[in-house]
A and B are shown apart, each in its own frame.
Chain A
Amino acid sequence: MQSGLIDSLKGIVGAEHVLTSQEDLLCYSYDATPGFSHMPEAVVMPGTADEVAKVLAAANEAKIPVYPRGSGTNLSAGTVPLKGGIVLLMTRMNKIVEIDTANLIAVAEPGVVVGDLNKAVEEFGLIYPPDPGTVATATLGGTVSENAGGLRGLKYGVSKHYVMGLEVVLADGRILNTGGKTVKDVAGYDLTKLFTGSEGTLGVITKITVKLMPAPEARRSMLATFAKLDDAGQAIAAIIAAKIIPATLEIMDNATVRTVEDYAKVGLPTDVEAVLLIEVDGIAEVVEKDSAKVVEVLKANNAAEIRVAQDAAERDKIWAARRAALPALAKLRPTTFVEDATVPRSKVPDMIRAVNEIAARHAVTIGTFGHAGDGNLHPTIVCDIRDDAEMDRVYKAMDEIFAVSLQLGGTLSGEHGIGVGKLRYMESQFGPAGMAAMRAIKKALDPNCILNPGKLVGECL
């Protein structure tokens, strides 16, 4: 990068907010995705939307790539600066601008950590439902850009269901506002939804208006073990068929259960094919009724053991098992790929079986757990990225997992997004016309392709 550009960046955000030393650049060459890394040429930390606008205008002029970055916890290499250029670090813009309890709305800057937003609205008896596993570290901007979801996705959905309006800086530095505080807003193309989940490829989000929900009055957690995977699958379908939408309905397969038990000793039987974890929430009376019904359904579908939490401590114990799933798997080997192939929920047992079969055939270690209620599974592959022969098998297994997911009528991503990690499968999901439409949007908004180039829709020049 020319030193002239570095100087003007320093002029825009202040010299102390531009990092160019080799050590700092190394620290922005990766995110939470294994297997990708590349050094940027500068890290720029803007403090206001206006500064973002000026940085983008300068970069656009010089045709230098810009990679927006929140906390860098994404699992699709979405923030890796594969073509050098500027990492635009949004963490300085971390003010909660407004909590509007009359309209149940919060307005915040993109660098706010989601967990901090939740702490702030908790005081008013409200929640911001999207809760990725990284809720305590990920930024609001990052989660909106990834359309992140979480454990409560079945009942509460993903980020796009809560984003009401955005302030976005376009590639050339123009600032645009979408949506607002009105619940009913049907004017024009839905630009709010377009930028939500756009993974930093269409614009840089500088302010976010989100919808809040009343915190549930009560909740009840349950855990059930199943000797047969199919019974667990039937139970999932039957719970929904009984007109109960749990906040959370999670599954862990045998490989995951064994690993968790080995690591966290939470008292799970290791010979079962699946464990379901369920939480219903809402008004106390409804929770009472729903949980009784869930227990009935579980029994009718041959659950071997059913635990119902009676107090907070028991609830904690149940969720400790689920929380341990990823750490336990991650500890097995140095490298961990957490995928999020998603299928219609009736296909969950088929998907788990297919993943197990793929793992065995390619001799790779995969544990599958995830959000069974919404079909969003996390086949988690553990391996050692330094072992080329093993990685060969891992990538083959990955290709097959996503192929199966699409065959079963599913999607490549239920919450993590595409980035470059899953780019090579995009065409199979959207076809040539779908990809062309997406690239046309990209080109229209970012003609020089400076924003997160090469991600989500691939090369567009």
Chain B
Amino acid sequence: MSDDNKKLLAELEDALANCMKCGNCMEVCPIYKEFKTESTVARGKIALMEAVLSGQSEITAGFDQRMAMCVSCKACTAKCPCGVKADELIIKGREAIVKTRGLHPIKKAAFALLKARPLFDFGLRMAGVFGPLAFKKLPGRLATVARFPMPGLDRKRIMAPIASTPLRSQVPEVVKVDNPKLRVAFFTGCTINYIYTDVGQAVLNVLKENDVEVTLPALQHCCAVPVHISGDIELAKVFAKHNIETFERYNPDYIVAACGSCTMAWKKDYPEMFADDPEMKARAEKLAARTYEISQFLVDVVKFRRDNLGEVKAKVTMHDPCHMARGIAVTAQPREVLKAIPGLEFVEMKEPARCCGAGGSFSLAHYDVARTINDRKLADIASTGADTVATGCGMCRMHITDGLVQSGRNEQVFHTVQLLDRAYKAGKKDEPKKAKDEFHFH
């Protein structure tokens, strides 16, 4: 092991030593629930890192495989009586792996693409144009099945189709309103820009209804969460710095994002990434203080309009993405949004904040495990009798949709804000038909 890595892991020694091996994390870890072996739970991974530190073990392929078995759901950290931030320590472990062994090949290819922003943009746009060729469309929902085997994708896996035109090319950089009350910068993140443009459109509509002017900075990049949790901290910092510089130029009152992970990146990860660079840290913190997840922004800042909401007939349950529930602690606001919608019946599922198995790029590399974890979520959804699942993360939406389609189920998955958008549309008596067409409700 290089001295560099030794130093990196040595810094962790105290943090690791705080784990008293009580095993409380076994109760909540979705991966442990499937395998019931020590290396799949935080306690075991911490023990492995300790062994590397003490020289008892090396950073081997086996170490790499075991560190990869984590969806970064933060459940262990939330549970730990000793305050051990196991999810972050596991990422540190991966950081050491990246330095010694390099990334998993599938991820390597994906992140190489992400690194070159223009190329990434072009690549996904081409995929959008040619997407219909490569993916078979499933009627009635935003989902397709891969027709050709694609590297890193399970053949049967349901993906959302890649948009033929990314969101930021569909709308002007500044979406104006007549009497702006507030001005915000919208961090779209990749999922919304390239795949779930419908969520982006809903965000724009909903903000418009509330007299908020929205800027979509053209040069924004991926939030860096996927590369960060893979352990490539250097690349993550490049993304973070780029985003911070880009958004600073607009000096927005607020930054909004419609994805728990993106919001977490801005609010927590960026300031932490620059812990040893006071100048960048201060800049990151300044923006972090202004960053809001969309439902949080609507409820806490804008106090969204409720007088012009129309009926949405749906029985809705909510899945709280890990990074919403434990990353940024936003669970009340999306519920408040849903409960404000007339006609909508809200039912709570068992363990709404239990990981759905998507885990960012985890489900790319470990599709089978991700699906088994997903099955528990599907059962919880089924027991509510809901016809619609609301959530706040594109990856979760895609993964849950995949599970539902694979098991022949009919529930639809939407971002919370899409349901609000639909309520605003239903409120405009002249346009009810349009709203109906746009969303495939049944």
Residues of chain A whose beta carbon lies under 8 Å from any beta carbon of chain B? 19, 21-24, 26-34, 43, 45, 71-73, 89, 91-92, 94, 111, 115, 134, 136-137, 326-327, 330-331, 334-336, 384-386
Q: Do residues B20 and A26 form an inter-chain contact, with CB atoms below 8 A?
A: no
Q: Do residues A327 and B82 form an inter-chain contact, with CB atoms below 8 A?
A: yes
Contacts of B60 in A (CB 8 A): 22-23
Is residue B48 within 8 Å, beta carbon to beta carbon, of the partner chain?
yes
User: Of B23, B47, B66, which contacts A71 at CB under 8 A?
Assistant: B23
> How near does chain A come to B306, taking the closest CB pair, in angstroms?
29
Which residues of chain B from 17 to 59 have any CB-CB distance to chain A below 8 Å in the complex?
17-18, 20-24, 26-27, 36-39, 44, 47-48, 51, 56-57
> How near does chain B come to A215, taking the closest CB pair, in angstroms?
20
Question: Which of A26, A28, A31 gathers most chain B CB within 10 Å?
Answer: A26
Contacts of A115 in B (CB 8 A): 27
Is residue B385 within 8 Å, beta carbon to beta carbon, of the partner chain?
no
Contacts of B22 in A (CB 8 A): 32, 73, 134, 330
Contacts of A386 in B (CB 8 A): 17
Is residue B81 within 8 Å, beta carbon to beta carbon, of the partner chain?
yes
Which residue of chain A has its CB nearest to the CB of B65? A23
Q: Do residues B47 and A30 form an inter-chain contact, with CB atoms below 8 A?
A: yes
The distance in angstroms between the C-alpha atoms of A33 and B56, with both chains bound, is: 20
Per-position binary interface string of chain B over residues 64-76, scored 1 when its CB falls under 8 Å from any chain A CB and 0 otherwise: 0010000000000
The distance in angstroms between the C-alpha atoms of A331 and B83, with both chains bound, is: 7
Contacts of B438 in A (CB 8 A): none
Q: Do residues A137 and B26 form an inter-chain contact, with CB atoms below 8 A?
A: yes
Which residue of chain B has its CB nearest to the CB of A90? B36
Is residue B3 within 8 Å, beta carbon to beta carbon, of the partner chain?
no
Q: Do residues A24 and B36 form an inter-chain contact, with CB atoms below 8 A?
A: no
The distance in angstroms between the C-alpha atoms of A335 and B18, with both chains bound, is: 7
Is residue B441 within 8 Å, beta carbon to beta carbon, of the partner chain?
no
Q: Do residues B20 and A34 form an inter-chain contact, with CB atoms below 8 A?
A: yes
Contacts of B20 in A (CB 8 A): 32, 34, 330, 334-336
Q: Do residues B82 and A26 form an inter-chain contact, with CB atoms below 8 A?
A: no
User: Of A22, A89, A334, which contacts B14 at CB under 8 A?
Assistant: A334
The distance in angstroms between the C-alpha atoms of A21 and B4, with both chains bound, is: 26
Which residue of chain B has its CB nearest to the CB of A327? B81
Which residue of chain B has its CB nearest to the CB of A91? B36
- Main SS at interface, chain A: loop
12 A-B interface contacts by CB (under 8 A): A23-B48, A23-B60, A23-B66, A24-B37, A24-B38, A27-B37, A32-B20, A137-B26, A331-B18, A331-B81, A331-B82, A334-B18
Is residue B63 within 8 Å, beta carbon to beta carbon, of the partner chain?
yes
Q: Do residues A32 and B23 form an inter-chain contact, with CB atoms below 8 A?
A: yes
Contacts of B27 in A (CB 8 A): 115, 136-137
Q: Do residues B57 and A26 form an inter-chain contact, with CB atoms below 8 A?
A: yes
> How near does chain B come to A322, taking the closest CB pair, in angstroms?
13
> How near does chain B come to A411, taking the closest CB pair, in angstroms?
24
Q: Do residues A137 and B24 form an inter-chain contact, with CB atoms below 8 A?
A: yes
The distance in angstroms between the C-alpha atoms of A386 and B18, with both chains bound, is: 12
Contacts of B38 in A (CB 8 A): 24, 27-28, 72
Contacts of A31 in B (CB 8 A): 21
Q: Do residues A34 and B23 form an inter-chain contact, with CB atoms below 8 A?
A: no
Q: Do residues A26 and B23 form an inter-chain contact, with CB atoms below 8 A?
A: no
Which residue of chain B has its CB nearest to the CB of A33? B21
The distance in angstroms between the C-alpha atoms of A23 and B26, with both chains bound, is: 18
Which residue of chain B has its CB nearest to the CB of A19? B37
Contacts of B48 in A (CB 8 A): 23, 26-27
Is residue B62 within 8 Å, beta carbon to beta carbon, of the partner chain?
yes
Q: Do residues B21 and A22 form an inter-chain contact, with CB atoms below 8 A?
A: no
> How near does chain A come to B146, taking the closest CB pair, in angstroms?
29
> How near does chain B come to A349, taking the closest CB pair, in angstroms?
28
The distance in angstroms between the C-alpha atoms of A385 and B27, with both chains bound, is: 26
Contacts of A22 in B (CB 8 A): 57, 60, 62
Q: Do residues A27 and B21 form an inter-chain contact, with CB atoms below 8 A?
A: no
Contacts of B17 in A (CB 8 A): 334-335, 384-386
User: Of A19, A26, A43, which contacts B47 at CB under 8 A?
Assistant: A26
Which residue of chain B has its CB nearest to the CB of A37? B47
User: Of B62, B66, B81, which contacts A326 at CB under 8 A?
Assistant: B81
Q: Do residues A330 and B39 form an inter-chain contact, with CB atoms below 8 A?
A: no
Which residues of chain B from 354 to 405 have any CB-CB distance to chain A below 8 Å in the complex?
none
Which residues of chain B from 61 to 116 have any CB-CB distance to chain A below 8 Å in the complex?
62-63, 66, 81-83
Which residue of chain B has its CB nearest to the CB of A73? B23
8 shortest interchain CB distances as A-B pairs: A327-B81, A27-B38, A27-B44, A334-B17, A23-B62, A91-B36, A136-B27, A73-B23
Which residue of chain B has its CB nearest to the CB of A23? B62
The distance in angstroms between the C-alpha atoms of A12 and B62, with both chains bound, is: 25
The distance in angstroms between the C-alpha atoms of A71 and B66, with both chains bound, is: 19
Contacts of B23 in A (CB 8 A): 32, 71-73, 134, 137
Q: Do residues B62 and A92 form an inter-chain contact, with CB atoms below 8 A?
A: no
The distance in angstroms between the C-alpha atoms of A72 and B21, with both chains bound, is: 9
Question: Which of B22, B23, B56 gathers most chain A CB within 10 Å?
Answer: B22
Question: Which of B18, B20, B62, B63 gathers most chain A CB within 10 Å?
Answer: B20
The distance in angstroms between the C-alpha atoms of A28 and B14, with both chains bound, is: 22
> How near does chain A come to B55, taking the closest CB pair, in angstroms?
12
Which residue of chain B has its CB nearest to the CB of A69? B38
Q: A45-B37, A331-B18 are in contact. List 11 more A-B contacts (CB 8 A).
A: A23-B62, A23-B66, A26-B47, A26-B51, A27-B44, A43-B37, A72-B23, A115-B27, A330-B82, A334-B18, A336-B82
Which residues of chain B from 201 to 236 have any CB-CB distance to chain A below 8 Å in the complex?
none
> How near does chain B come to A118, taking the closest CB pair, in angstroms?
13
The distance in angstroms between the C-alpha atoms of A336 and B82, with both chains bound, is: 10
Contacts of A335 in B (CB 8 A): 17, 20
The distance in angstroms between the C-alpha atoms of A24 and B26, with both chains bound, is: 16
The distance in angstroms between the C-alpha atoms of A336 and B17, with both chains bound, is: 11
> How near does chain B come to A357, taking the closest CB pair, in angstroms?
26
